[in-house]
Amino acid sequence: MSRQLHLNGFLKGAGEYHAGWRVPGNPPDAGVNFPFLAEQVQRLEAATFDSVFLPDLLGVPDDPPEVTERIAWSNDTLEPTTVLAALSTITSRIGLMATASTSYNQPYTLARIFASLDHLSKGRAGWNVVTSLNDAEARNFGFSAHLGHDVRYRRAEEFFDVVAGLWDSFDDGAVWADAASGRFFDPEGLHWLNHHGEFFDVAGPLNIRRPPQGRPVIAQAGSSGPGRALAARIADVVFTRALPLPDAQAYYASLKEQAAGLGREPLVLPELATVVAPTRAEAEDRFAAVRELLDPRVALADVQYWAGVDLTGLPLDAPLPPLPASSPRSAGAQAEIYAQAARDNLTIGDLVRIVADGDGAIIGTPADVADHIEEYFTQGAADGFNVSFPWQPETLVDFTDLVVPELRRRGLFRTEYAGTTLRDHLGLSRPASRHAAR
């Protein structure tokens, strides 16, 4: 079989677009409405998506009140691993991925959560490793400000190593449950971690047998130098921002080379947002109607958030202020925004319009979207896509019903699942335990 696309569904309440929650017919409680979410996930599973991914924030962002009151998802959303546990009972094949922070959690807790999810789902769990984004999150965990960038990534490296070690606490087959002899497990097959590091002291072992996948699938969105280094070392899947083709190709080649030096080959999935209709005019009209619902103050706050600078009082025809020496934001995303502004001579107002216009969303026919996907996939820019949906359910249904058949017609995407675990879908082998050769 020829190389096949990998598609992940990126779900955020009523949609990725900030005004998506205002679209007529969308449920007002989309962020906490499990039946609504379940229906979307079951649609993605019927379309043979590799996985679904639920992001997370650990606090309400520090936006002005007039902006905060207009944003739905980050202010009204369920804890994602709890949701995935529920989804595991009504799905059978699609992978179930969630964000969890290494800055504001403990390794033993997350090791248990994701091992449990992998067992509940029979091998479909995935963890998107993040270091968190802002001071608002930090203040909910006893810190006055977000941890510094380098500290966050050193902590994340150690955090992952502890979690991975805990997942190998039991050897495969060490749990006997031999009722006749009264021996539940082989004591030689249980291993203490006894980790002592810069940030964590964890004895172990984990009180759950080894996960069905050996290790849940690891995703990461490394864009800064330390972020890319972490992704190259630990990630099975790397999520990236939507980038112009030359930039996407450069990122893809750089990350693949960095990972190859470590004997690894993670999959790269750029974000892709689409508004699809049978004709381009219809797709453009649909988006234009929703664009009218977006308050420009929300778009400005989005630019300010990712640029990591205060834009209060600056005229829209001004350029971005100088890049700050440090920021709690994603350093990679911040650098990309500044590079784009410098390259294209963009003002603050231009950046606001880009956000309002869908921030790179592909708006057109199924063939238009498939052309974009095929170009990135065949020209060394992507192994698949992290597909976001500007407003749900409409843009999700349009993608599964219009784009997926076109991708299949071109021989780019599966018609049925070949395996049962998320690793199967992604073409990843089950890792051996670190204790297997001893």
What tens digit of pLDDT does each residue of 63-87 get? 888 888 888 888 899 999 999 999 9
Mean pLDDT of all residues in 111-136: 96
Domain of 233, in residue numbers: 6-277+361-426
Is 16 inside a domain boundary? yes
97 in a structural domain = yes
Binding site per annotation, positions? 56, 99, 149, 153, 223-224
Q: How many domains does the chain have?
A: 1
* Domain assignment present for 313: no
Mean local confidence (pLDDT), 340-347: 87
Cα-only R_g, the chain:
22
Rounded to 5 degrees, what angle do the CA atoms 202, 130, 104 make?
50
Say if strands 195-196 and 51-54 run parallel, antiparallel, or are unpaired. unpaired
Q: Is residue 143 part of a domain?
A: yes
Task: Please check whether residue 191 lies inside any domain of the structure.
Answer: yes
Condensed to tens digits (0 to 9), the pLDDT of residues 88-104 reads 999 999 999 999 999 99
- Amino acid in the structure at residue 122: K
Given pLDDT bands bounded at 50, 70 and 90, which one contains residue 326?
A: low
Q: Which two tokens stand for residue 305?
A: 């958030």
Question: What CATH number does residue 371 fall under?
Answer: 3.20.20.30
Whether 92 is in a domain gets the answer yes
User: Is residue 66 in a domain?
Assistant: yes
Residues 135, 432 contacting (CB under 8 angstroms): no
Q: What is the pLDDT of residue 325?
A: 66
* Cα–Cα distance for residue pair 269/387, rounded to 1 Å: 9
**What are the binding residues for FMN?**
56, 99, 149, 153, 223-224
8 A C-beta contact, residue 94 and residue 124: yes
Predicted local distance difference test score (pLDDT) of residue 134: 83
Average pLDDT over residues 318-342: 76
> Nearest 10 degrees: CA dihedral of 149, 153, 159, 160?
140
Query: Is position 108 within any domain?
Result: yes
- pLDDT digits 0-9 by tens, 191-205: 999 999 999 999 999
> Which of 109-118, 139-148, 310-319 is predicted least confidently?
310-319
